[in-house]
Amino acid sequence: MALTPFSVVTEPTPSLRERSRELRVDEVTTPEFQAYLDRLIVTMFEKDGVGIASPQVGQNIRAIVVNMPQGAECFINPEILKKSEQLVDSEEGCLSVPGKYGIVKRHKKVTIRAMNRHGRTMEFEAKQFTAIIFQHEIDHLDGVLFIDKARDIHTTGGKHI
């Protein structure tokens, strides 16, 4: 049976501006939460995104999905441990801010610590576009939208992150 995608919450929904709560391992490993993550992945692909954060589907919990080079992966309680000094300009859009795009300064590389969907903690480095996606999605978990950081906001543009 095909999973139904979630509806995406859009700005100015107040919950998009709230900090999301952390999850415990025992919450992450339940069948219900695994099914939630699967629907989150389906939603990201259905909406043609490259990442999605739980607040974007109305859940203020610290869980994101990122379309990594090897496919969609779930990250629970992700945090940035280290950021490169080198910044890059990123043209960004967002599923929760439809019709708007802008240029955001992001770190070229970040070191991430997160739990995977099985409750195991991992640390890794993300570079280039993948690093940008992580920064964008972690901002969502902190109640920050790309339009808060963007310059040159316009109505035609690139990829929804």
DSSP notation for the chain: -PPPPPPPP-TT-GGGGSPPBP--HHHHTSHHHHHHHHHHHHHHHHTT-SEEEGGGGT--BSEEEEEETTEEEEEEEEEEEEE-S-EEEEEEEETTEEEEEEEEEEESEEEEEEE-TTS-EEEEEEEHHHHHHHHHHHHHHTT--GGGT-EEEESS-S-B-
pLDDT of residue 160 exceeding 70: no
Q: What is the reported pLDDT for 161?
A: 74
Q: What is the reported pLDDT for 45?
A: 95
pLDDT of residue 157 exceeding 70: no
Cβ atoms of 29 and 120 within 8 Å: the answer is no
Residue 31 CB burial class (10 angstroms; 0-12, 13-18, ≥19): exposed
Distance CA 161, CA 146 (A): 10
pLDDT category of residue 156 using cuts at 50, 70 and 90: confident
pLDDT of residue 50 exceeding 80: yes
Amino acid at 35: A
pLDDT of residue 11 exceeding 80: yes
Q: Which residues are catalytic?
A: 137
φ and ψ at residue 132, rounded to 5 degrees:
-65, -45
Report all structural domains of the chain as residue ranges with CATH numbers, in order of start: 14-154 (3.90.45.10)
Question: 113-144, pLDDT tens digit by residue?
Answer: 999 999 999 999 999 999 999 999 999 999 99
